[in-house]
Amino acid sequence: MSRRDALQRAVHVAGLLAACGLRPALAANNSRAAFDALSVDAALRALGAGSIPEESGAVTLTAPDIAENGAVVPIGVASELAGIRSLVILVEKNPSILCAVFHTSDAVLARIATRIKMDQSSAVYAVALMHDNKAFFARKEVQVSVGGCGE
């Protein structure tokens, strides 16, 4: 079985399990597989997104228009939606598309700031994964002047 086959099966199984409502137990284990996903959609499915992600003004993505240095790109994700279980950052054209997953709780606001690496100019996605497995996203194109050394 090739690596690609294995990955596709892993994603498929994750999708099936998510459909069966087994997602909470998966949250920790399977998110490692999500980091190997080869597309934004596959990564989100591996994280348990149960439906087609929907673009939403209720998710805010803060990112520079132009990042001089791809090794350090400041990213902010925030949302006022109720019922968020995770905030996810993805970079479409990075070698590793899934960048970070933050599992929020009632004790924190759904508002995260961090810094990521970008290999080249790309769309960046901020996704709010809900407790009912819906996914809402914001998207922004970021121009990268110098790619982030090997990422």
Partner 1 sequence: MTKPTRIRAQSNGAVATVSVQMAHAMESGRRKSATGQLVPAWYIQQVTATLNGQVVLSAQWGTAVAQNPYLQFVVRGAKAGDKIGIDWTDNHGITRSDEATVL
Instruction: Name the site residues for partner 1 (rule: CB under 8 A).
Output: 28, 31-32, 35, 71-73, 91, 94-96, 98-109, 111-118, 148-151
Contact 7, 33 (CB under 8 A): yes
> Smallest distance, Å, CB 34 to partner 1?
8
CA distance 40 to 88: 11
Q: Which is nearer to partner 1, 14 or 99 (CB)?
A: 99
> Smallest distance, Å, CB 11 to partner 1?
16
> Smallest distance, Å, CB 29 to partner 1?
10
Q: Which is nearer to partner 1, 63 or 71 (CB)?
A: 71
CA distance 144 to 71: 10
DSSP type of residue 104: -
Q: Which is nearer to partner 1, 88 or 138 (CB)?
A: 88
Is beta strand 135-146 parallel, antiparallel or unpaired with respect to 66-69?
parallel
- Give the phi and the psi of residue 7 in degrees, each rounded to 5: -65, -45
> Smallest distance, Å, CB 110 to partner 1?
9
